[in-house]
């Protein structure tokens, strides 16, 4: 095995460890002295205070994890060189990212119908939790819509899918990485929805050979869900006022 490949694998491993640390770092705000520091800056009481702290820490830890990943990746110029052939241009990659949003949305709609046929009710507990935190601490949007998707694409598409695709075909790499993507959301009732989304993101990355594409689609999906859910009442009022 070449020195370059070993170095790239190490970088991928460190990025994975950074993401795991980000996911587990929420326990830090449970430490009384740390929690007390946050309470000095949060004008909330009771349960809302705890939720606000969770939102702020999610945003802060996501930003920190993102910066650490960028530093790690910048030390290895070969980190992105996993596909043979020419990468899609930036405009084409952006275009596919936008198309990808609609592909993911379509895939989730099909997945929702499959789940309903299996007797699984619509609505994700994971999404509802994130939206609850966002309502109390809007800063959570930084984690759920911006830095979170970037970190997840780095880990599940570049690290996991990108490592597998070098020895396996697209289907194996795509399915395995999408299952891991679904598992990390800890919403096993809707594992079909998350797996479909992960597979489409993998396809977008594979299609353009640029992670930018799946990042755009992922951000747009999370942003759309957040926007719709946060304004559900207003949207319903508008629909009720429309002529029938």
End-to-end CA, the chain = 67
- Give the residue numbers annotated as catalytic, written as ranges: 152, 185
Predicted pLDDT of residue 171: 97
Backbone angles phi, psi at 85, to 5 degrees: 95, 175
The sign one gets for the Cα dihedral 67, 71, 77, 80 is negative
Residue 149 pLDDT > 90: yes
Residue 155 pLDDT > 90: yes
| Mean pLDDT value across residues 11-34 | 92
Residue 244 pLDDT > 80: no
Exposure string of 160-177, with b = 16+ CB inside 10 Å and e = fewer, is bbbbbbeeeeeeebbbbb
| Mean pLDDT value across residues 192-201 | 96
Q: Could you give the CA distance from residue 98 to residue 102 in angstroms, rounded to a whole number? A: 7
Predicted pLDDT of residue 187: 85
Residue 88 pLDDT > 70: yes
Predicted pLDDT of residue 36: 85
**Which residues are within 8 A (CB) of 46 and not within 5 positions of it... i.e. 6 or more apart?**
none
119's torsion region: left (phi>0), alpha (psi -120 to 50) or beta?
Answer: left
Q: Could you give the CA distance from residue 199 to residue 166 in angstroms, rounded to a whole number? A: 17
Per the CB < 8 A criterion, the answer to whether 57 and 29 are in contact is yes
Predicted pLDDT of residue 45: 75
Predicted pLDDT of residue 35: 86
Mean residue pLDDT of the chain comes to: 91
Predicted pLDDT of residue 193: 93
Residue 125 pLDDT > 90: no
Residue 234 pLDDT > 80: no
Per the CB < 8 A criterion, the answer to whether 154 and 76 are in contact is no
Helix (H, G, I), strand (E, B) or coil at 125: helix
Predicted pLDDT of residue 4: 76
Predicted pLDDT of residue 144: 94
Per the CB < 8 A criterion, the answer to whether 202 and 214 are in contact is yes
Q: Is 100 exposed, middle or buried (0-12, 13-18, 19+ CB in 10 A)?
A: buried
Residue 1 pLDDT > 70: no
Is the pLDDT higher at 38 or at 215? 215
């Amino acid at each position: 095995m070449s020195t370059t490949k070993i170095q790239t694998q190490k970088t991928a491993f460190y990025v994975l460890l950074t993401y795991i640390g980000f996911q587990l770092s929420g326990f830090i705000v449970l430490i009384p002295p740390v929690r007390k520091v946050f309470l000095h800056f949060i004008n909330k009481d009771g349960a809302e205070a705890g939720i606000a702290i969770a939102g702020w820490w999610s945003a802060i830890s996501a930003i920190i994890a993102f910066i650490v990943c960028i530093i790690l990746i910048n030390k290895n110029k070969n980190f992105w060189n996993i596909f043979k052939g020419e990468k899609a241009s930036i405009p084409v990659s952006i275009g596919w990212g936008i198309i990808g949003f609609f592909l993911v949305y379509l895939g989730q709609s099909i997945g929702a119908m499959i789940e309903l046929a299996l007797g699984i009710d619509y609505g994700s507990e994971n999404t509802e939790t994130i939206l609850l935190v966002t309502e109390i601490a809007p800063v959570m949007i930084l984690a759920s819509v911006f830095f979170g998707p970037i970190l997840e694409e780095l880990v599940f598409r570049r690290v996991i899918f990108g490592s597998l695709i070098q020895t396996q075909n697209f289907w194996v790499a795509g399915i395995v990485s999408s299952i891991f993507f679904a598992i990390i959301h800890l919403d096993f009732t809707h594992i079909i929805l998350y797996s479909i989304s992960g597979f489409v993101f993998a396809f977008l990355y594979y299609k353009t050979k640029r992670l930018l594409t799946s990042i755009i689609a992922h951000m747009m999906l999370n942003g759309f869900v957040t926007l719709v859910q946060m304004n559900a009442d207003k949207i319903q009022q508008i629909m009720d006022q429309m002529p029938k």
